[in-house]
Structure 1
Amino acid sequence: MGDLTFDIAHMLAGGLVLLSFVMLYQDRLYALLNVYALHAVVLAASVAWQAFAQDAPHLYVTAAIALAFKAVVIPTALHRIIRRLGIHREIETVGGVGPTMLAGMGLVALSLAVMLRITPEAEPLAREDLAFALSVVLLGLLMMVTRRNAVSQVVGFMSLENGLVLAAAGAKGMPLVVEISVAFSILIAFIVIGIFLFRIRERFDTVDLHALDRFRGERR
């Protein structure tokens, strides 16, 4: 039973890393949002499995929050924002997809090397889950850096936050009140970002960051 618990936990955490690479590969917004929704489903499954493995019932609440908000509410709302704003649905990358994927592989290798080295006394399950979680965080940061579209950068930020939730669950979880506070903070941030995108689209008729750079210094 111990080996099975270990293997399933690592399969789910590794699945999050794999889906982070799939998000980096996407060049269309709708496909990116669909992969992010799947990313959130796998996160919810991973946290629920950690709840079972650790006998920590409060983590089931975290899994339910991730499934409801991250996998359903936020992707659905972003789909509607894209349709209402008429946002250009192709995603431009800085430097191309190939170099981005190579950089992602380097970040994953760095995460594994650093986390496994600095946590030699931690439990094997928590130790390796933290390494996977750091990989997800760094891949989310990479998406934010290499994408020129504001919506794809929002998705990168939310995938980064998924990595933080995975880390908290793998490290014996967080107090329930903290988890609920984080969930509502993310929801509020999402609402603010939605309003921000509407204002950008209304003012500049685009959310492409490369195009927005041309407006710097212009008088309103």
Structure 2
Amino acid sequence: MPQPIFPHLVFDVAHLLAGAMVLISLMMLYQGRLNALIKVFALQAVALAASVAWQAQAQHAPHLYVTAVIAIAFKGVVIPVALHRMVARLGIHRQVETALATGPTMLAGIGLVALALVVMLPVTATSDPLAREDLAFALSVVLLGLLMMVTRRNAVSQIIGFMSLENGLILAAAGARGMPLVVEISVAFSVLIAFIVIGVFLFRIRERFDTVDVDALDRFRGGRA
């Protein structure tokens, strides 16, 4: 593989973009309104596309450019627009309802980032220097996505947490010398299909129970029991 002219620049930019994804994940935990949360998710998709495109350049792996295009097209444009329309059509309360206050949630998020760094860096000590920190950042994004799914009561915000988690998995795959193009395309279409199915279920839940607040649905189930 040809050696880059500025090797330190390659590492620095790769880590800057991956670190930006972690920062944006923390910003998603801080958002209190659904529309703002969707916009920040779109921003994370842009950061993911930029990170994967930079990895394609650094690794001389042209197929990663396809992954970057898929990320910016679907997660940066199509899915955020669809989510905005879904929120409007369902008449969902625009405030993000949380199971945990913003302060403790942010502290938990920072703790998960520290945990990811502490766990991943020693394990990948002998790995490619370009991939080592990116894998730690990717694990941080995955854990923060899980945290969002756990601490959010609204189904739409939980969907965004799930897709943010999947962004972390794509970042990890790209940093670890990528994965076959057919797998990347399959994953992208699987996520799109899952998003469509979830959207259909949200409309059905809204028709049946007049809410998509999972806490209210739990209370309803308890009342019927």
SS of aligned partner of 1:215 = helix
The one-letter code matched in structure 1 to 2:112 is L
Provide the aligned C-alpha RMSD in A.
Answer: 1.0
SS of aligned partner of 2:220 = coil
Aligned-partner Cα distance in 2 for 1:103–1:204:
32
Residues 1:10 and 2:15 aligned together: yes
Aligned ranges 1:1-220 → 2 under 5 Å: 1-219=6-224
The one-letter code matched in structure 2 to 1:204 is F
Following TM superposition, by how much is the alpha carbon of 1:157 offset from its aligned partner in structure 2, in angstroms?
0.2
Deviations, residues 119-140 of structure 1 (Å, cap 9, x unaligned): 1100111011000000000000
SS of aligned partner of 2:92 = coil
Aligned-partner Cα distance in 2 for 1:109–1:218:
41
Following TM superposition, by how much is the alpha carbon of 1:154 offset from its aligned partner in structure 2, in angstroms?
0.1
Deviations, residues 163-205 of structure 1 (Å, cap 9, x unaligned): 0000000000010000000000000000000001001100000
Runs of at least 5 residues in structure 1 that lack an aligned partner in the other structure: none
Aligned-partner Cα distance in 2 for 1:160–1:198:
23
**Amino-acid identity (%):** 76
Aligned-partner Cα distance in 2 for 1:59–1:95:
38
The one-letter code matched in structure 2 to 1:181 is S
The one-letter code matched in structure 2 to 1:68 is A
Aligned-partner Cα distance in 2 for 1:131–1:100:
20
Which stretch shows the higher mean deviation, 192-201 or 206-215? Answer: 206-215
The 4+ residue runs of structure 1 with deviation greater than 6 A are none
Aligned-partner Cα distance in 2 for 1:117–1:4:
23
Following TM superposition, by how much is the alpha carbon of 1:92 offset from its aligned partner in structure 2, in angstroms?
1.3
The one-letter code matched in structure 1 to 2:17 is L
Q: TM-score, normalised by structure 1?
A: 0.98
Q: State the number of aligned residues.
A: 220
Aligned-partner Cα distance in 1 for 2:47–2:195:
21
